[in-house]
Amino acid sequence: MALLYPKKNIALHNTFILLFDYAKLITNITSLQYNHMRLENKTAIVTGAAQGIGKGIALKLAQEGADVVIWDIQTEKAEKSAQEIAQSTGRKIIAMPNVNITKLASVQEAVQKVIEMFGKIDILVNNAGIVRDASFLKMTEEQWQSVIDVNLTGVFNCSKAVAPFMSQAMYGKIINISSVVGIYGNFGQTNYVAAKAGVSGMTMVWGRELGKYNINVNAVAPGAIDTEMLATVPAPIREQMIQKIPVRRLGKPEDIANIVAFLASDEASFITGQTFVVDGGAYLGG
Ligand SMILES: NC(=O)c1ccc[n+]([C@@H]2O[C@H](COP(=O)([O-])OP(=O)(O)OC[C@H]3O[C@@H](n4cnc5c(N)ncnc54)[C@H](O)[C@@H]3O)[C@@H](O)[C@H]2O)c1
């Protein structure tokens, strides 16, 4: 009888040790999950990543483990972005000079180089965009055409050049940066709104057509994001814009980069053909 208590104690002690080890195992698994990079071994192209939202996206994709190729017409700025991102993430970040997305031949040549360097393209983020605002009655043909060329034809060209490689590999993620104004219009932006609505339209078509090749195509429609593009808006108008945003602030490039990283990951593999509004609730009105 006297021996029974120590035995019981030993059993209890062993149970505690087992529980302790189990708790440690769960903690380790959880922390591994948190540290897990969703885009390891992926190759991504981000257009217009010399600054603004594109730069934020390139940084986030690299933080998630992807190697990133930057296509931008601002060669020096693109080079600087690439260096900064490579230094902070340790990933391979390449800024390819003089890739003009309005020219299909230029884009196809660049795609060949990316394939030679990395052997594959897993992710394409069509982010490059411009504005040339004027009210409809004053808008010139040049203002119309330049915005359509970059914001609509540019998205077509890059996707057209990359999709054959993705379909052959039976893997791909295309994320198009649209805009909320492509959904509800905006004064002075006939060209921009037409292009962005077109981008969301192409996203639906490609979602339907490319799904069977395991390619997901989605769009993100940002509201007002604080970048160089928005810096042209006078301060009082920016203040008015903020008052119309329920979360009472402008968006940051990271706000867009976070959803792009999710859509580029396999966590989003059952999502395609969609446009996601990221605007701090401004679309709700009021
Ligand atoms: N900033 C906003 O409030 C906002 C809101 C909605 C949507 N967007 C969209 O987000 C995207 C990024 O916007 P941003 O605010 O970062 O703009 P930005 O002007 O700061 O950056 C755009 C980048 O695209 C590059 N670019 C322009 N023409 C190009 C071409 N022909 N080929 C290659 N690169 C080219 C520019 O050099 C620049 O680096 C755009 O598509 C824009 O329409 C922005």
Residue 272: pLDDT above 70?
A: yes
- The pair phi, psi for residue 126, each rounded to 5°, is -85, 95
* pLDDT reported for residue 36: 80
Residue 7 has pLDDT above 80, yes or no: no
pLDDT tens track for 231-242: 888 999 999 999
**pLDDT score at 2:** 43
Candidate list 5, 22, 192, 213, residue with the active-site label: 192
Each residue of 89-141: pLDDT tens digit? Answer: 999 999 998 899 999 999 999 999 999 999 999 999 999 999 999 999 999 99
Q: How far does residue 127's CA lie from ligand 1's centre (Å)?
A: 6
pLDDT, residue 40, reads: 98
45, 46, 51, 53: residue to mutate for ligand 1 pocket, most atoms within 8 A of CB: 53
pTM exceeding the 0.95 threshold for the entire prediction: no
Active-site residue flag, 22: no
pLDDT band at 15; cut points 50, 70, 90: low
- Separation of CA 25 and ligand 1 centre (Å): 45
In this structure, which residue's CA is closest to atom 7 in ligand 1? 179
* Residue 149 alpha carbon, nearest atom of ligand 1: 31
Pocket probe mutation, ligand 1, options 192, 220, 225, max atoms within 8 Å of Cβ: 225
**Percent of the chain whose predicted confidence (pLDDT) is above 70:** 87
**Spatial CA neighbour of 101 closest among 170, 54, 171:** 54
For the stretch 31-54, what's the b/e string if a residue is b when 16 or more beta carbons lie within 10 angstroms of its beta carbon?
eeeeeebbbeebbbbbbbbbbbbb
User: The tokens 């970048």 sit on which residue?
Assistant: 227
Q: Which pLDDT band holds residue 4 (cuts at 50, 70, 90)?
A: very low
- pLDDT of 174 > 50? The answer is yes
Inform me whether the pLDDT recorded for 5 exceeds 90: no
Q: Flag whether pLDDT at 22 surpasses 90.
A: no
Distance 167 CA to ligand 1 centre (A): 27
Which ligand 1 atom sits closest to the C-alpha of 126? 41
**What one-character-per-residue DSSP string does the chain give?**
-TTHHHHHHHHHHHHHHHHHHHHHHHHHHHHHHHH--TTTT-EEEEETTTSHHHHHHHHHHHHTT-EEEEE-S-HHHHHHHHHHHHHHH-S-EEEETT--TT-HHHHHHHHHHHHHHHS---EEEE-------B-TTT--HHHHHHHIIIIIIHHHHHHHHHHHHHHHHT-EEEEEE--THHHH--TTBHHHHHHHHHHHHHHHHHHHHHGGGTEEEEEEEE-SB-SHHHHTS-HHHHHHHHHTSTTSS-B-HHHHHHHHHHHHSGGGTT--S-EEEESTTGGG--
Q: What is the mean pLDDT of residues 206-231?
A: 96
How are beta strands 67-71 and 43-47 bridged, if at all?
parallel
Give me the pLDDT at residue 6, please: 52
Mean pLDDT across the chain, nearest whole number? 92
Ligand 1 atom with the shortest distance to the CA of 150: 31
- What separation in angstroms does the CA of 149 have from each of 86, 129, 194, 272? 31, 10, 11, 25
Rounded Cα gap, residues 100 and 161, in angstroms = 13
Maximal C-alpha separation, the chain: 101
Q: Is pLDDT of 1 > 70?
A: no
Classify burial at 6, counting beta carbons within 10 Å of its beta carbon; exposed 0-12, middle 13-18, buried 19 or more. exposed
pLDDT digits (tens, 9 = 90+) for 252-268: 999 999 999 999 999 99
Distance 226 CA to ligand 1 centre (A): 12
Would you state the pLDDT for residue 97?
Answer: 86
Residue nearest to atom 13 of ligand 1 (CA): 53
